[in-house]
Structure 1
Amino acid sequence: MNHIDKQYELEPNRRLTQIMTALILIILFGWSLSAIQFDELTVNGLTIAKNILLGLVQPDVELLFNFTNGVPYLLIETVAIAFLGTIVGAILAIPLAFLSASNIVPKPVAIIIRLLLVFIRTIPAIVYGLMFIRVTGPGPFAGVLTMSLTSIGMLAKLYVDVIEDLDTSILESMESLGCTMIEKIRFGILPQLSALFLSIIIYRFDMNLRDAAVLGLVGAGGIGAPLIFAMNSYRWEEVGSILIGLVILILIVEYVSNKIRTKLVRG
């Protein structure tokens, strides 16, 4: 027991640090609460919230099951935007990832490419959406371009993390055999990375599906535009139908993507 007591006494006293940290967190929490204006919570706002809930309970059944131009069609369009944007972004992110991996290319080159990827990730998806709408006009094409560009930044970063954790002994063996950089990537790296890359791509598709729904609010295709139109027109039954369809879609994609990622990682 004496030995344990001595070890306990040798432990640094962090009580002051813990108290200071708690005080700082409390101050930051109180300061953050000051930004919330409860005066804006009017009776009209509560009525709208109640109507949205009623719309979920009593949705527009015809719109919910109309496969021509109803919720199913809008959901399919949203999935198509997210899927195509993810595929394009995943392909374009691969060379950028290898160029930003310090164990593959010289460090100065890796730093420059990483700065480019940081810049791409800095801009929110909705800002890209507004920019592309000015170029291509409103519609799904703007959504696909937005999903592609936003996917590049995140996917390349995750690719790099995987690439830099590789066992470089295989690359050294191939280099001793006189293999070129392309051959090392093709035969020494990609076979090891394919499963992890696919898992990352599926994860990004899951995120893009949510972003695609939001991008519709600014006219970049998908289910977001009909949702905001229905809300602005106070058609709460249509709002309920769209939200129900969106929730069901997200749950299905979440379940399937988790199953696939689990099999890829374990396999």
Structure 2
Amino acid sequence: MTTIEKQLLQAPRNHRYVLTVVAIVVILLAWSVTEFSLKLDSNGMKIASNIVGGLLNPDLDFLFNLSDKGVIYLLWETFAIALLGTIVGAILAVPLAFLAASNIVPKPISWIIRLLLIFIRTVPALVYGLMFIRVTGPGPFAGVLTIGITSIGMLAKLYVDAIEELDVKVLESMTSIGCTTFEKIRYGIIPQLASIFLSVMIYRFDMNMREAAILGLVGAGGIGAPLIFAMQGYKWEQVGSILIGLVILILIIEFISNKLRSKLVNG
């Protein structure tokens, strides 16, 4: 018998704790199942089959149309909304992250900013979208603002984690040799945080592509609105064209973003 096996056998047995956790999980699962119906709607199954039919027989003229009503233009608009919104959110998240880092500012200020970030993350993107549409009117600008504000919460949280893991010994050694604050930021902080910040930003952009497509449903620009209009009009070939274009674009962005993140992480 190996040492690891001996240690495993000597470990205390928490049977009562395990049984309690299992019982709670089973009760919650049983209660959850009773709260919704498992009956299949025949009309819903018909719509699902129509969507599959549209994917197998897409409207190629609509898919390759280069006008502002075609899939390519709508996908480009969705891409632009996600990109600009990510950049806006990434820029605004930096000062908030430094203010929320407990090793940079006093803890009371840190907790106040953290509560603000929690509030920002709590509100769903569709709610922000409806709010900004009321302010700016429907269109891509409302989508950019929505993506920007929803990105702040997550980006700032991950930025804070990186800031709190800074190697302060580097800053202390720079202070001992008389470096100015600007020099400490330029040569001590930025080199440690730049690759992490960029990696997090790319990851968030990947998520924002999906959110930008959904925001079109409420009129915040992008491909979501044409998708819902095509479904409401039972134009399944157009639905198939939009979904094919959206899947291809997201796969391309996923591939590129994974490559960029791996290079940033691995140096």
The question of a shared fold, defined as TM-score above 0.5 by the shorter chain, is answered with yes
Partner of 1:77 in structure 2?
77
The amino acid of 2:79's aligned partner reads V
Residue 161 (structure 1) aligns with: 161
Report the AA paired with residue 189 of structure 1.
I
What is residue 246 of structure 2 aligned with on the other side?
Answer: 246
> Are residues 107 and 72 of structure 1, via their aligned partners in 2, closer, same or farther at CA, if it must alter by over 3 Å?
same
How far, CA to CA, are the matches of 1:241 and 1:182 in structure 2?
Answer: 52
Q: Give the 3-state SS of the residue equivalent to 1:221 in structure 2.
A: coil
CA distance in 2, matches of 1:247, 1:61: 15
Q: Which whole-Å CA distance do the structure 1 matches of 2:225 and 2:37 have between them?
A: 28
**SS of the residue 2:104 aligns to:** coil
> TM-score under structure 1 normalisation?
0.93
3-state SS in 2 of match to 1:38:
coil
71-80 vs 19-28, which moves further: 19-28
Q: Which amino acid aligns with 1:100?
A: A
In the alignment, what sits opposite 1:262? 262
What corresponds to 2:147 in structure 1? 147
Identity of aligned residues (%): 67
The corresponding residue for 1:52 is 51
- Counterparts of 1:220-239 in structure 2 under 5 Å? 220-239=220-239
Moved runs in structure 1, 4+ residues, more than 2 A?
A: 3-11, 173-187
Letter in 1 for 2:25: L
Normalised by the length of structure 2, the TM-score is: 0.93
Give the match's secondary structure for 1:13. coil
- Runs (5+) with no aligned partner, structure 1: none
CA apart distance, 1:174: 3.0
Distance in 2 (CA, whole Å) between partners of 1:8 and 1:251 is: 44
Note closer, same or farther for the CA distance 1:9–1:244 as it changes in structure 2 (3 Å cut).
closer
Residue 99 of structure 1 corresponds to 99
CA distance in 1, matches of 2:145, 2:8: 59
Distance of aligned partners of 1:7 and 1:262 in 2 relative to their CA distance in 1, 3 Å threshold: closer
Alignment of 1:30-49 (within 5 A): 30-39=30-39, 41-49=40-48
Q: Provide Cα deviations, 1:152-183, integer angstroms capped at 9, x if missing partner.
A: 11111111111111110112223345555554
Aligned equivalent of 1:66: 65
Aligned length: 265
Distance 1:26 1:9 in 2: 28
Superposition RMSD on alpha carbons, in Å? 1.9
- TM-aligned CA distance change 1:5 to 1:128, over 3 Å: closer
